[in-house]
Amino acid sequence: MSSKKIIAISFLCAAFGFVAFAPNGSAAQTKKPAAGDASRGKELFSTCSQCHSATTKDAGVGPGLKGLFKGKKMPATNRPVSTAVVTSQIKKGGNGMPGFASKYSAQDISDLVAYLKTL
């Protein structure tokens, strides 16, 4: 192979690599942290629904979560209701509830919280 051809091929590879890489790079930079997706949260809630009702306030193993964010106090502990408190409850659990910090990503938990806000 002549050195001219090698230079031409390297140039093409570099140009192609740039085109292939650039859109990904810029997409990653402009991507905002996604807000909670309630419909995804609803699917994830299947893990919670073995202990919590989403349609009533009646207690199962844990308190019913209907209207959670419409109330002022957390149903079991009476802490003030907030995204931070509910997020921490999901991560840490406590008093009979397992923590989900190792099972769910931050995105999963924000999806779950978005779903709980619709109840």
Which spans of this chain sit near ligand HEC (rule: CB under 6 A)? Answer: 47-48, 50-52, 61-63, 65, 68, 74-77, 79, 86, 89-90, 94-98, 100, 112
Nearest-approach distance from CB 22 to ligand HEC, in angstroms: 39
Residue whose CB is less far from ligand HEC, 17 or 80: 80
Residue whose CB is less far from ligand HEC, 36 or 62: 62
| Planar angle of CA 38, 42, 47, nearest 5 degrees | 140
Nearest-approach distance from CB 39 to ligand HEC, in angstroms: 15
Question: How many angstroms separate the CA atoms of 99 and 91, rounded?
Answer: 5
Question: How many angstroms separate the CA atoms of 60 and 12, rounded?
Answer: 65
Nearest to 113 by CA among 92, 96, 89, 79: 89
